Amino acid sequence: MYETETYGRLSEEYKADGVVDLTWQACHTYNIESFTVKNFVKEKLNLPFIQIETDYSDSDIEQLRVRIEAFLETIGKTAYN
């Protein structure tokens, strides 16, 4: 099964409102793959998508919080309006 088919199956099975793609900083292989995932999620699944890259340190907590809150607001607007 292709990876994108798995995303489609899981999004349907769990009734996803959006997709969060987490990539560890300096993990370039997965960061490149995120582009394909984003296109599939937006074009085929028609779901909101956010890609987050972090080194899992305390230095980016506030930035991540703001981005994730904005993403959740977007999901709330698209999912219930």
Chain segment 17-74, per-residue pLDDT in tens: 999 998 887 765 666 788 888 999 999 999 999 999 888 788 889 999 999 999 999 8
Q: Provide the Cα torsion 50, 54, 58, 62; round to 10°.
A: -30
DSSP state of 58: G
DSSP state of 50: E
Long-range residue pairs from 25-30, CB within 8 A, at least 24 positions apart, any chain: 25/53, 25/54, 25/55, 26/55
Confidence at residue 22, expressed as pLDDT on a 0 to 100 scale:
87
Which residues lie closer than 8 Å to 52 by C-beta, 6 or more apart?
A: 20, 21, 22, 23, 64, 67, 68
Q: CA 60 to CA 42: how far, in whole Å? A: 26
